[in-house]
Amino acid sequence: MFSLPQRPRRNRKSAALRDMLQETYVLPRHLVFPAFICANPSEVVALKSLPGQQRWLKEDLAKLAEDCLRVGVRGLALFPFIENRLKDSHGSESKNRKGLVPEAVRLLKEKYPDLIVFTDVALDPYSSDGHDGLVQQGEVLNDESLPLLADMALTQAQAGADWVCASDMMDGRIGFLRKTLDEGGYSQTNILSYSSKYASSFYGPFREALDSAPREGDKRTYQMNPANRREARRELKLDQWEGADMLMIKPALPYLDIIADYRRVSALPIAAYNVSGEYAMLKAAAERGWLEEDKAIDEVLTSIKRAGADVIFSYHALEWSKKFKPLL
């Protein structure tokens, strides 16, 4: 027999040994389930482009939260479907203390105080323009948008949100939100920054679920160029300096290198969003029998965790956790 001093296959020869030497584990507590919420029963629909997902009536969120907590998923992220009649150019509904998101947060925190509730800070669900910031003559205004975003974050914090999640990609918004929250008496409310949110082709099903696509133009003047890597590190440094408590990379799968970069240079927790298009792509292939769904989901989540994410936002969170087998 040929003499080989190193045989890596020796460490793979049995299931028990492979389990012992496994480097990366995903647990339900590492996951956050993104939920689309609505105010009216007529808006509760199954989402065709997101098989297995739906819009949730505010009053039904307690059942969803119970299902999540039962299988170990402790985080729920809320994304609102806002009626067109409530939308305007300033996204005024976003600071309504009796609006859909604040009411949903209060309901959840009253019933499940240990549930970790994440709320989204961006104008696009509330804006008649469908952009994350204030629009004037076709331009998305940066500095003028910051007070509107801060008002939204403060309203969510007042309702009891644990994390306000700045997904808008306006320059300086983390510092502006932190100052507003601190001055408003909410210094313990955490800020998650969508630090590297790319102008991706994988957001389509999400925007369909919320009817939040831009009415004109696109989001490339504020979301990042998918070709850029060094720019992500610049965004990271700024958000850390401004006071972010956790940094998000979105999407996840096409940007595993960015997740790994963040893990190497930051001591903050790192989150990654396994977005709607990634979910839909896997589901479509599984429905056609082109891959084994359960194994593919496990591989996707493991790869995101292996790259360096501490927390994963994923539409797979609930179904995957229901099938999760605790480590012995």
Residues 223-267: tens digit of each pLDDT: 999 999 999 999 999 999 999 999 999 999 999 999 999 999 999
Which one is catalytic: 197, 219, 283, 305?
197
- Identify which of 71, 164, 153 has the alpha carbon closest to the alpha carbon of residue 116: 164
pLDDT, averaged across the chain: 94
As a residue count, the chain comes to 328
| pLDDT confidence tier of residue 273, bands split at 50, 70 and 90 | very high
Q: CATH number for the 25-322 domain, one of 3.60.15.10, 2.40.160.20, 3.40.190.10, 3.20.20.70?
A: 3.20.20.70
pLDDT for 226 equals 96
Exposure b/e, 35-68, CB count within 10 A at least 16 = b: bbbbbeeebeeebebbbebbbbbbebbbebbeeb
Contact 169, 145 (CB under 8 A): no
Give, as one character, the DSSP assignment of residue 264.
Answer: H
Q: Which two tokens stand for residue 149?
A: 């975003």
pLDDT at residue 212, rounded to an integer: 66
From CA 138, how far away is CA 128, in angstroms rounded? 13
Respond yes or no: is residue 111 known to be catalytic.
Answer: no
The answer, yes or no, to whether residue 325 has pLDDT greater than 80, is no
Render pLDDT for 26-79 as a digit per residue (tens, 0 to 9).
Answer: 999 999 999 999 998 889 888 999 999 999 999 999 999 999 999 999 999 999
Residue 62's Cα: distance from chain center in Å?
Answer: 20
| Percentage of the chain lying above the pLDDT 90 cut | 85
Beta strands in 39-133 (DSSP E): 55-57, 75-80, 116-121
Q: Exposure string (b/e) for 130-167, b if CB count within 10 Å is 16 or more?
A: bbbbbbeeeebebeebbebbbbbbbbbbbbbbbbbbbb
pLDDT, average across residues 147-159: 98
The single-letter code of the amino acid at 71 is: V
* 245 to 78, 102, 117, 193: CA distances (angstroms): 19, 22, 15, 8
Check residue 328 and give its pLDDT: 57
pLDDT of residue 211: 73
Mean pLDDT, rounded, for 281-288: 96
Cα–Cα–Cα angle for 161, 315, 229, nearest 5°?
A: 85
Active-site pick, 58, 87, 219, 250? 250
| Residue 250 a catalytic site member | yes
pLDDT at 208 over 90: no
Domain ranges of the chain: 25-322
Q: How does residue 327 score in pLDDT terms, banded at 50, 70 and 90?
A: low
pLDDT at 320 over 70: yes
Please name the residue that has the structure tokens 């007529």.
42
